[in-house]
Amino acid sequence: MASPRRRILLLGGSGRLGRVLTSAWHDRHDLFLPGRAQLDLAEPDHLSSTLAEFDFDTLVNTAGLTSPDACEDNPDLAQRVNAESPGVLARVCTGRGARMIHLSTDYVFAGDCSAPLDETTPAVPVNTYGRSKLAGEEAVLAACSDALVARVSWLFGEAGGDVPSAVLERARRGDALDFIEDKCSAPTWTTELADWLERLITDHREVTGVLHLCHSGAASWRDFAQAVLDLGHEVGLLPEPMSTQGRRLAKFTGFRAVRPPWTVMDNTRLASLLGASPRPWQEALRLHLQRLAGRG
């Protein structure tokens, strides 16, 4: 049986994830894609009246202020965009009986563990970005008991602007290939994330609360970069093998916001919904790079 066609209001449709979702879903669903000029999360007081203009049965919020350093520099803006506005969106969804999926982040965790973090692990953010996103999660779930908060991490995919595209560009330019080796998370391919989210919209609307959406396994930024170099050479994107150098997070002075060193999320709950464990991130990365090379 074909999945039902939904009327989806997608916020953040011009962002990296939003563009992937738009491309993946536009043939199977009716999408509403308001831009910031029409619906601005920096102005939570105006959202309810604007949302009344759209006839949607599902709201997917991928929008937000996602740069940790930008949030550190603009904490009031981060609070409005990442916390207050999601709460307004959730209240509107409750009022009209619409499904809401709110995208959140692994940065809600402190990063002081060394084992995968499941949905029951206490969230203790260490920077303004994480605190604003956690406040957004809490606001959404308080306002809409049927909402789903989907935490994601280290997204990569066809829209670019990610670790693989940056690593390939640096390698081709002959730049230094040094990457932080003691900060770890779970890389996640946006192509498969789009499929997981769609299934949560069409087939698993009963799933609520917090859900971790990520591939299996863990990687440091250096591990991730080295895999891009190795697989990039294997599929023909790079002419020769290359190696990375490690850097320590504590010695990197380029960040204004503190970064949590370990935010590897457990995806057991997702696996139970899918009926199988999500593929390892290395396998997803290989498929992505094969597509970039025209082999997929």
Which residue in the list 56, 107, 109, 129 is annotated as catalytic?
Answer: 129
Over residues 174-198, the pLDDT tens digits come to 999 999 999 999 999 999 999 999 9
- Assign residue 67 the CATH number of its domain: 3.40.50.720
Which pLDDT score is estimated for 279? Answer: 97
Q: Please indicate, yes or no, if residue 115 is contained in any of the structural domains.
A: yes
Which pLDDT score is estimated for 251? Answer: 86
Q: Please indicate, yes or no, if residue 241 is contained in any of the structural domains.
A: no
Segment (H or E) for 234: helix 221-234
Q: Please indicate, yes or no, if residue 46 is contained in any of the structural domains.
A: yes
DSSP E strands in the chain: the ranges are 7-11, 30-32, 58-61, 99-105, 148-152, 155-156, 178-180, 184-185, 188-189, 209-212, 219-220, 245-247
Q: Please indicate, yes or no, if residue 192 is contained in any of the structural domains.
A: yes
Q: Please indicate, yes or no, if residue 269 is contained in any of the structural domains.
A: yes
- Owner of token pair 């959140």: 104
CA distance 250 to 260: 11
For residue 10, what are the β-bridge partners? 60
CA distance 201 to 101: 8
Q: Please indicate, yes or no, if residue 85 is contained in any of the structural domains.
A: yes
pLDDT tens, N- to C-terminus, the chain (296 residues) = 567 899 999 999 999 999 999 999 999 999 999 999 999 999 999 999 999 999 999 999 999 999 999 999 999 999 999 999 999 999 999 999 999 999 999 999 999 988 999 999 999 999 999 999 999 999 999 999 999 999 999 999 988 889 999 999 999 999 999 999 999 999 999 999 999 999 999 999 999 999 999 999 999 999 999 999 999 999 999 999 999 999 999 888 889 999 999 999 999 999 999 999 999 999 999 999 999 999 76
| Sign of torsion over alpha carbons 207, 261, 121, 65 | negative
Q: Please indicate, yes or no, if residue 180 is contained in any of the structural domains.
A: no
Q: Please indicate, yes or no, if residue 259 is contained in any of the structural domains.
A: no
Per the structure, the count of domains in the chain is 1
Start-end of H helices in 11-81: 16-25, 47-51, 68-73, 75-79
Q: 129 catalytic, yes or no?
A: yes
CA distance 127 to 74: 12
> Domain limits at 38?
7-160+187-216+265-279
